[in-house]
Amino acid sequence: MTHKLLSRGQTLVLFALTLLLLTLLVTLTLSFGSKVKEKMEVQAAADAAAYSQAATTARVFNEMALMSRAQIGHLVSKAAVNSLIDWSSYYRAQIGATRNAYTIAMLPYIALLPCCIPYSGCSSFCRCAIQGVRDITRSQNALSRYDRTEIAPQWDQLERPAAQRALRLSQAAQQMFVVGQVVQYGRMMLELNNQSAANDIIDSAGAGSRWAGELRVDGVSTTRREVAPYLGAVAWPNLINGHHVYAAMGSRGHSFVANRGIFPTDDWLVTAGIQRRLTTPDTVMIQGDGSTYWARTPLHGTYLGTTDTYSIADDHGLAFVTFARGRSPCPTQTFGIGVAESLLIASDSSDPRDRHRWSPRLGTGDLEPAQTRHNMGTCYGRNRMGCPSVWPMFVDYNGVKVMDKDDNWGQPKNFAVIQRDYAVRGTQADPWNLLFRFRFGGTDSGFDNSGLVLGPAGGGLNISRQTAVSTGLAYYHRREHWREPPNLLNPYWRATLVPATVDSSGAEDFVDELNGAGVGWAAEAYEALRAQGYRGGP
């Protein structure tokens, strides 16, 4: 009887131990599975946050690029206004050049005037020489009268409003563009500093959780630095205007603004206008060239010496005149050539060195003060020391970063650090997170299935924060095999997820983010893995 009781007792003990072991295995499995599931949830939230932050950066960069393109288009349109103003004064200069060409064509008849002296031996040339001088003088007077009574009044009525309207539009557009860029940049910095996208994501993820506040966001230091002025991808306030001025030079195209000499119609229009004022069968032929550009000195549209200082329009050309009303025995045809040029240099209203002149000039020219007419308004350039400048301020891409391949050409990355703090759950943790206390031989030992704090062997390290890190990147990509450096002139910014080691400082930034998030032990583990040759990355 006693033997049976002992056997039954041993069986019960074994059965109880087996049930305990089975319970431990089940709870451990449930706990591991729960942790893995929750880790995947946190990682998904970190990925979404990193991508959202990169998308925010890319979207704002594209918006600023569109405003930069609008600025460039506006400046090119102002260059077109200056082109028309200068070309119209060039037309007046060609009237003067035609008049001077007539003077050269008159020289053969002037040379024959001594034949009018009695007993000169060439008296037969006297009448035709006088007639030739008289006819040419009448043509010259007609050209002067045409410029004075017809061209000058119309030119003044058209040119003055064109310049003033361009000035008013310039003032409004410059202010709106630069304010728009600064507002968008400030909004982006505010969203990144506040981790708005990440907070929205964890708010949505934790909406159905029993433990409010267990999810938290970190990882703003690298994100902020990557887009900070001059430390990161953005240059503001802009100190170097080369990007915009060269982009505007290229945006002129092969047009009336960029190269008026390649359009025969330009010469034909001038030729036809002056030809109507000549007496047939006299003819005039105009050949010229012109361009509008940005430089410090007139360079006739070449890219050499391009700066943002002045908007310059210059036209120059030749007038070839054929006088065909000569009478025998004098020459029936004589020829002359005249040179014409016009120049318009426009700057801001604080610079009195604006110029508008043309030569030859038959009558009065532009007598209005420089600052009230052909100018670009108030200087919105780099700073007052940088004035005069026809360029408004703008948010530009950091040119120093473009040359740094190791830094991924300055393309801004961001870290999203999402943590789940299991300590928030306290005693309301999952039911399978069992806690056992065993007392044998006067010592306490236990088993804590929640795994929030390591035991004595682990130094009592608190590992209650489950941490997920993801790296997003705003990158510049133009399709169809374009090889173009990152810039804020074209709206081709995109967003993606990348390894933390996307640039040379990525690994160090990753460690800094872990330390900043209060999980230095995870940073130490990552560095230990790297020391052993680990080359992966989140």
With beta carbons less than 8 A apart as the criterion, state whether 347 and 376 touch: yes
Q: Which domain holds residue 218?
A: 66-397
What pLDDT is attached to residue 321?
97
Does 259 reside within a domain? yes
User: Which residues, in sequence order, are CB contacts of 455 under 8 Å at separation 6+?
Assistant: none
What pLDDT is attached to residue 385?
46
Does 43 reside within a domain? no
Closest by CA to 192, choosing from 36, 23, 65, 61, is 61
The total number of structural domains that make up the chain: 1
With beta carbons less than 8 A apart as the criterion, state whether 321 and 77 touch: no
- Rounded CA-CA distance 54/75 in Å is 31
- Rounded CA-CA distance 488/184 in Å is 13
What does each C-alpha distance from 32 to 40, 243, 364, 451, 498 come to in angstroms?
12, 56, 93, 10, 28
What pLDDT is attached to residue 287?
92
Does 335 reside within a domain? yes
Neighbours of 395 (CB within 10 A): 24
Does 420 reside within a domain? no
Does 369 reside within a domain? yes
Does 244 reside within a domain? yes
Does 290 reside within a domain? yes
Does 251 reside within a domain? yes
What pLDDT is attached to residue 207?
76
- Rounded CA-CA distance 249/244 in Å is 9
Query: Average pLDDT by consecutive 10-residue portion of the chain (538 residues)?
Result: 62 84 78 80 91 95 91 84 86 94 96 90 91 95 91 72 66 73 87 86 78 80 89 79 80 84 79 93 93 85 76 92 94 96 82 82 61 59 55 82 91 92 70 57 56 63 82 91 86 94 90 88 87 72
Place of tokens 């000039």: 361
- Rounded CA-CA distance 481/488 in Å is 19
3-state secondary structure (DSSP) of residue 225 = helix
- Rounded CA-CA distance 223/313 in Å is 45
The predicted model scores a pTM of 0.80
Q: Please return the burial class of 234, using the count of CB atoms within 10 Å of its CB with bins 0-12, 13-18 and 19+.
A: buried
Peptide bond into 264 cis (omega under 30): no
